[in-house]
Structure 1
Amino acid sequence: MHPTQFSSGDVIADRRADYARMLADNGEHEAAVELMEQALELAPDWPAGLVRLADYAEKAGVPDKAVAALRKVLERDAEDLFGARLKLALLGAEEVPDAPPSAYVEALFDDYADRFDKALVERLDYTVPGKLAALVAEHHPERFHTTVDLGCGTGLFGAEIRERTARLEGFDLSVNMLTKAEEKQLYDLLAKADLSLDSTASGLFADDLPQARADLVSAADVLMYLGDLGNAFSLASALAAPGALFAFSVEDAGEGDGFQLAPSLRYAHSEAHVRARLTENGFELITLRRTTIRMDGGKPVLGILFLASRRP
């Protein structure tokens, strides 16, 4: 999140919030709740403070206080920069939304961009770009004409596919991530796009960029920041020429036919949900592969790699 959002503007409130954080770090969540409530008496319209209060209250076993704090956040933050609605859904106070707020995802990755590669690859053993590129190569050893990398981030998948495509386009919601990708000089085009929006508003077809221009569309470790995949797959379908490949990954939700919101605030998707959305949007599944996609808290995160083709 933007660092400036974590100051209340009141020195005493900030000091009490700092003490509350130290208590929470020591596992003293009830005391942390009390101090955050005191801080918020001085700065009642501080969204980041309310988010902290909700976090401490949940860990202290008082979910009602957490819910009340998060509802106040939504009253003060119409864009939901802090993902309060997602947190309410995890607490059972709201339905799981079909997609997270774009402002939340954008702020998350704008803040994460400078340390993204190091954190993901070195500390979390992130392997999706290499595995997904290898899966593509198994079924299509020839060069591609145009690859559109959705949610390109800092260009980790782009680095894997660059030598195998004549043109490489990258789109991401985060400007800071796009800046990092530009530094690698991998892409012929980089632009901002939002996969939760329809084709006219998404940014994927701005500046006279045509539909059906790609013979490979990729989405490596992107779709876990969307719930229902219908809109994202519709955009992929509009980008894909007949016979084009669509390569992507999801976190594995296991059995069932839908998607789940995890405590990480990422979505996991069932194979059935993915298959249904592919069919609805004109794709045929070629193959899928279950694998560990990263570590999280020292535990493996299970995912599924998919390769599909656009029906003629």
Structure 2
Amino acid sequence: MSATANDPNLKYLTKAREQLTKGDLRNAAATLNKANALWPQDARVHMLGGLLAEKAGNVKGAFESLRKAVSLAPAWGPGLLELALLLARQNQFQEAVETAEKVAALEPQNLQVLAGVVDIAHRSGHAEMAVRHLRRGLVLVPGDATLQRLLARDLSELGRHDESLAVWDALIAANPTDTQSLVGRVQACVAAGKAADAAKDTSALLALAPDDAVYQYYAELANGRTPAQQPAELTRPLFDGMAEIYDQHMVRGLKYQLPKQVADQILARYPHKKLNVLDLGCGTGLLGVCLGRLEGALIGVDVSLKMVEQAARHNVYDRFHTVNLHDALKDTPEGLYQVVAALDVFIYAGDLTQAIPNAFRVLAADGELIFSCEIGDETGPDLVLLPSGRYTHKRSHVEALCKRAGFDAVVIEDTVLRHEGGQPVHGFVVTAHKPA
């Protein structure tokens, strides 16, 4: 569908788009009403109406308008693409992927469509689909660095490390000071279990920015050392990017049930909900959702502002702090909480020699620290950083830290934390009790 000099709606559509871009929803609605009165069967009006409805928080209305646009123009790429994107944003991934593939077939040369399709593939967790369309994009735009970086990361995600490294090599050969590609190649080496191969790149990065915490972290890895913790500068962008799809990814995709299990444990002890809870690494608020509103306070801590924004939507947390858990514990006054929870977060926090004693300090008498870890080999080091970028902890070491901190009872239960690649990720849950 193209605009012509005889297009009676063009001026209204252009104006409505400008108003939507500025967030002027009231006037955008008025403009679209004029366009609809002039030409009720114009698919473009209904498409923009769908975007307007979504911005206004009316998801049902957004779907109705976009499906109307598609019914009026079934082979019109923009309408189909916006429907596919909305489906992906609402975690309806199967239909989103099917619709995206249809748009890609209709408009194989359209780079805007390509970008939308790749975004949908990433949101849906379809790395193979993303790779296929990114390769197609590189035929259309040979040498495009952005597409190459995305391709390299997806290949690494799929475990195709040699292919990923070949793409990074080509990017760096073309631009030796491209920090994004240097970091990408370092990450690919780490994911492939070849951290030592990244030593040259980490040296180059530190020469450019010696105080960069992420570069320092990777330099330690490349030189055979295990960093004590991951810098917030590394984890924050990761979780900011996952925030909108985190719940769907974790609960449905990875069968993550730990928040429900721990919430049930907490509520069994405090059925009247008269307690204060500190939720370290609260993420999108899955524990809070399972706990519901408390008569005390539920405080969330997370380095990712985007994650916190998702958690705030549940309206069960009283306050949030966007800091790493080590700083949160260090700066919290003693004796405030009946429960401190840290679910699936110590796998990024690393060394717990300060975190566990600080958690003991902020707990009230008779309080409990409840946390999970990925299980480490009892014959190996106390702390191991896996190629996945997550830490494992030894049960014996964690138990010793808890007892040394002053906890009088430490219960450790083996569990499956989540599933990845169809395989269970084994870990354990610790409940450590502070004396009354």
Question: Normalization by structure 2: what TM-score?
Answer: 0.59
Distance 2:246 2:230 in 1: 20
Moved more, 115-124 or 125-134: 125-134
Match of 2:343 in 1: 220
- The answer to whether residue 389 in structure 2 is matched with residue 280 in structure 1 is no
Match of 1:308 in 2: 432
Distance 2:305 2:421 in 1: 28
Give the secondary-structure state (helix, strand or coil) at the position aligned to 2:236.
helix
In the alignment, structure 1 segments of 5+ residues that lack a partner are: 1-10
Match of 1:43 in 2: 175
Match of 1:268 in 2: 392
Structure with the largest fraction of strand: 1
Distance 2:309 2:435 in 1: 34
Moved more, 154-163 or 19-28: 19-28
What are the equivalent positions in structure 2 for 1:1-312 lying under 5 Å apart? 14=145, 17=148, 21=152, 33=165, 36-54=168-186, 65-77=197-209, 78-81=211-214, 85-86=217-218, 89=221, 93-138=223-268, 141=271, 143-163=273-293, 166-197=296-327, 202=330, 204-205=331-332, 210-256=333-379, 258-312=382-436
Give the aligned residue type for 1:289. Answer: E
Distance 1:59 1:242 in 2: 43
Query: How far has the Cα of 1:156 moved from its partner?
Result: 0.5
Residues 95-137 of structure 1: CA distance to partner in whole angstroms, max 9, x if unpaired?
1111112211222212221211111111111111112223334
Distance 2:417 2:163 in 1: 38
Residues 22-61 of structure 1: CA distance to partner in whole angstroms, max 9, x if unpaired?
9957998667645533432443222220133345567899
Give the secondary-structure state (helix, strand or coil) at the position aligned to 2:230.
coil
In the alignment, structure 2 segments of 5+ residues that lack a partner are: 1-141
Structure with the largest fraction of helix: 2
Give the secondary-structure state (helix, strand or coil) at the position aligned to 1:104.
helix
1:213/1:240 contact within 8 Å kept: yes
Give the secondary-structure state (helix, strand or coil) at the position aligned to 1:260.
strand
Look at both structures and tell me which one has the larger radius of gyration over its CA atoms: 2
Give the secondary-structure state (helix, strand or coil) at the position aligned to 1:186.
coil
Distance 1:54 1:188 in 2: 40
Distance 1:144 1:44 in 2: 59
Identity %: 26
**Inter-CA distance 122–39: structure 2 relative to 1 (3 Å threshold):** same
1 or 2 for the larger relative contact order (CA 8 Å, sep ≥6)? 1
Query: How far has the Cα of 1:152 moved from its partner?
Result: 0.8
**Inter-CA distance 156–18: structure 2 relative to 1 (3 Å threshold):** closer
- Counting matched residue pairs gives 292
Moved more, 218-227 or 275-284: 275-284
Moved more, 287-296 or 248-257: 248-257
**Inter-CA distance 192–55: structure 2 relative to 1 (3 Å threshold):** closer
Distance 2:396 2:219 in 1: 26
Query: How far has the Cα of 1:307 moved from its partner?
Result: 0.9
Residues 203-251 of structure 1: CA distance to partner in whole angstroms, max 9, x if unpaired?
x53xxxx421111111111111122212211331222011111111111
Root-mean-square deviation (CA), in Å? 3.3
